[in-house]
Amino acid sequence: MSDKFDVIVIGGGPGGYVAAIRAAQLGLKTACIEKWLDKEDKPRLGGTCLNVGCIPSKALLDSSHKYHDAKEEYGVHGISVGDVAMDVDAMINRKDKIVDQLTGGIAGLFKANGVTSFEGFGKLLANKKVEFTAHDGTVKTLDAENVILATGSIPVNIPPAPRTGDIIVDNEGALEFRSVPKRLGVIGAGVIGLELGSVWARLGSEVVVLEAQEQFLSVCDQDVSKEAAKIFKKQHLDIRLGARVTGSQINGEEVEVTYLDAKGEEQKATFDKLIVAVGRKPFTDGCLAGDAGVNLDERGFVFVDEQCRTSVPGVFAIGDIVRGPMLAHKASEEGVMVADIIAGHKAQMNYDCIPSVIYTHPELAWVGKTEQELKADGVKYKVGKFPFAASGRAMAANDTDGFVKIIACEDTDRILGCHIVGGQAADLIAQAVIAMEFGSTAEDIALTVFAHPTVSEAVHEAALAVDGHAIHVANRKKRK
């Protein structure tokens, strides 16, 4: 005898658990299957994001930043703290406690909203049946009117540097160091590599980042990537571009990495720990039966339309296993959209207004088009920039690195993109996202009253600068 549900969600990460809660709120009988087990083999909701991704990495970033400020910055404010020491065990334990609270919170939300939780592995069969295998090996078949695939992603491995014990690790292993490595190597200068490299650099590691691409942060607006490169250099992150790793050899408690530099010459570097952070790939292994009917591309992504429908009616896919950026908030909003569609409501997402953030310090955040993309497309545009060095509030906080950059259409003044380097960029970018979602112009922001003194005024001034009207910085063009 099978169990019947209106919606079965396979995956309990930020896409899956949000989809399940939303579907249940809309009156649908909903189940969510999640396979995650913690370090003690206890079932956990939240997927990669809550367990070994977004949340724990931010906990370490905040702890290490507070340590750095106490050691290096408090003196500017007249604060003497004497010798400062970091208890790494306490930092890691705090991170684990936060993860426990949040993952337990999801279980509570499932109970409050009437979501049935299955702890184990879900596999889509033909005719929207789902095979559920519990952690004890028990197998049962569930029936669903609708299935949402939300199985997430896993780290990409590279043959020259296979994960080995606790010396060559991925992002998950880098969250568990119990002491500060003297020499830390990071393969990949993307979001994960830069964030984790920053954590341990602040605590005293000599960090070398090996990046195969010759352009730093090519996904960012070039003004942002250039500014970030200068700042990271001051922070003693040794970022080597055009460095293609060809091999690694563990010798006792250290690893020797061989790579070709930008000139094609072989180089060697020795580290106590090596983090491999070269990207992630969709996780669908074992999740789809051969006759399930769901189509994948050559990279393993599930084919979906703009509303996340797969090739099988009643089967949807969201998050990291479909096109678009691998971002938790993108997955969550797709989960809400799909639940609404299943419930019979009209719903859609604006994929042009999905913000991205790198949580280094200063933070990097952006939404919309970059200047190089607009140039390549032949779009006429205008730019306004405002540096935090001219912000009274940023000066008061002694946090003046970076700027806000707003790009607007030359003809319509509509905002096409916003790019921020700064101490609160992750929060400030939301203002630009909201403005773009409502089709605002640069003038709309320029005519909006911002509180003073705030770092948000930098967004206001950047919008004013688009047409040469900035007040607190010299304008690049004459005022009209």
* Known binding-site positions for FAD: 58, 122, 151-153, 320, 326-329
Euclidean distance between CA atoms 37 and 435, whole angstroms:
40
- 284, amino acid identity: T
* Tokens representing residue 296 in the block: 């994948």
Euclidean distance between CA atoms 126 and 275, whole angstroms:
40
> Which of 152, 158, 171 lies closest to 285, judged by CA?
152
Residue with tokens 């960012």: 220
Q: Determine whether 29 is exposed, middle or buried from the number of CB atoms within 10 Å of its CB (0-12, 13-18, 19+).
A: middle
**Range list of β-strands (E), 67-175:** 116-124, 129-134, 139-149, 153-155, 168-169
Euclidean distance between CA atoms 150 and 130, whole angstroms:
14
Residue with tokens 């019947």: 4
Binding site for NAD(+): residue ranges? 188-195, 211, 279
Binding site: residue ranges? 58, 122, 151-153, 188-195, 211, 279, 320, 326-329
Contacts of 68 (CB under 8 A, 6+ apart): 202
Decide if 452 is catalytic.
Answer: yes
Of the candidates 135, 452, 469, 472, the residue annotated as catalytic is: 452
What φ, ψ does residue 126 adopt, rounded to 5°? -65, 155
- 240, amino acid identity: R
Residue with tokens 């460095």: 243
Per DSSP, helices labelled H in 122-244 are 171-174, 191-202, 222-234
> Which of 444, 341, 417 lies closest to 22, judged by CA?
341
Where does residue 378 fall: left (phi above 0), alpha (psi -120 to 50 degrees), or beta otherwise? Answer: left
Active site residues: 452
